C-alpha cells in the first residue's frame, strides 16, 4: 500500500474584532437615538392628534366663510369637489341684471345648515392648509346640495363626484345657472392677476 497523505484544511481567517472604541460609539449612538425618540415622539404625536382625529372626522358648529368654505374651531374646511362663487363675485341673471351671486351662495349654505351641527370627513389638506372634506348637516350632503341647488359648480379638475347634480341644476336653470357667470376659479385668477 501506499503512503497516506493527510491534507490540512486551510484556516479561515478570524473575523476582525471591532475595537472597543468603535463598539462604544455604536452603543452611544443607539442610546442617543432612543433618548431623542423618547423626547420628540410625544411632541410629534400631539401635533398629529391636534390636526384631526384618526378617522379624519370633525363635528361641531361651523362658521361659514363662503359657499364652499367652513371653519370648525381652528380648522378651515374646503368642501370637496365643488367650487362656489367668491363672496364678492357678481353674476348676471336671466334678464342680464347683475346680482351678488357670491353672497347668495354663502346665504344658501347658511340656510341649509341652519342651527344643525355639521360633521365633516376629510383626509387631505390643500395648499392653503384647509382640510378637504365632504360635510353633512343632518342627512344633507352639503357638497352635493350646493351643486344641486346651482349655488356651486362641480370642480371637475379635482373630482367628478358632483357632475350629475350640476347637469340637473343647469337644465333647471337653478342658482347661478339662471343666467351667465364667470366660473369661480377663473374669477379668482382674474382678480389675482389685477392685484
Total length of the chain: 195
12, 110, 127, 130: the catalytic one is 130
9, 63, 71, 78: the catalytic one is 78
CA distances from 83 to 28, 102, 115, 145, 187 (A): 55, 11, 23, 12, 11
Active site (annotated) includes residue 78: yes
17, 86, 129, 191: the catalytic one is 86
What are phi and psi for residue 133, nearest 5 degrees? -150, 160
- Closest Cα to residue 150, out of 97, 187, 112? 112
Alpha-carbon gap, residue 154 to 167, rounded angstroms:
9
Active site (annotated) includes residue 130: yes
Positive or negative: CA dihedral 190, 192, 193, 195: positive
Task: Please give the positions annotated as active site.
Answer: 78, 86, 130
Amino acid at each position: 500500500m501506499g503512503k497516506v497523505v493527510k491534507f490540512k484544511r486551510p484556516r479561515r481567517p478570524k473575523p476582525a474584532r471591532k475595537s472597543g472604541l468603535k463598539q462604544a460609539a455604536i452603543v452611544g449612538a443607539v442610546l442617543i437615538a432612543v433618548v431623542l425618540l423618547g423626547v420628540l415622539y410625544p411632541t410629534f404625536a400631539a401635533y398629529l392628534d391636534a390636526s384631526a382625529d384618526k378617522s379624519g372626522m370633525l363635528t361641531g358648529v361651523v362658521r361659514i366663510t363662503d359657499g364652499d368654505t367652513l371653519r370648525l374651531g381652528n380648522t378651515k374646511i374646503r368642501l370637496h369637489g365643488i367650487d362656489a362663487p367668491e363672496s364678492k363675485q357678481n353674476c348676471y341673471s336671466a334678464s342680464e341684471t347683475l346680482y351678488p351671486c357670491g353672497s347668495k351662495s354663502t346665504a344658501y349654505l347658511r340656510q341649509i345648515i341652519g342651527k344643525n351641527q355639521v360633521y365633516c370627513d376629510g383626509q387631505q389638506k390643500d395648499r392653503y392648509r384647509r382640510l378637504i372634506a365632504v360635510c353633512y348637516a343632518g342627512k344633507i350632503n352639503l357638497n352635493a346640495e350646493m351643486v344641486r341647488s346651482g349655488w356651486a359648480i362641480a370642480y371637475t379638475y379635482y373630482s367628478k363626484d358632483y357632475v350629475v347634480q350640476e347637469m340637473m341644476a343647469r337644465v333647471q336653470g337653478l342658482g347661478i345657472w339662471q343666467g351667465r357667470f364667470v366660473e369661480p376659479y377663473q374669477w379668482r385668477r382674474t382678480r389675482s392677476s389685477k392685484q
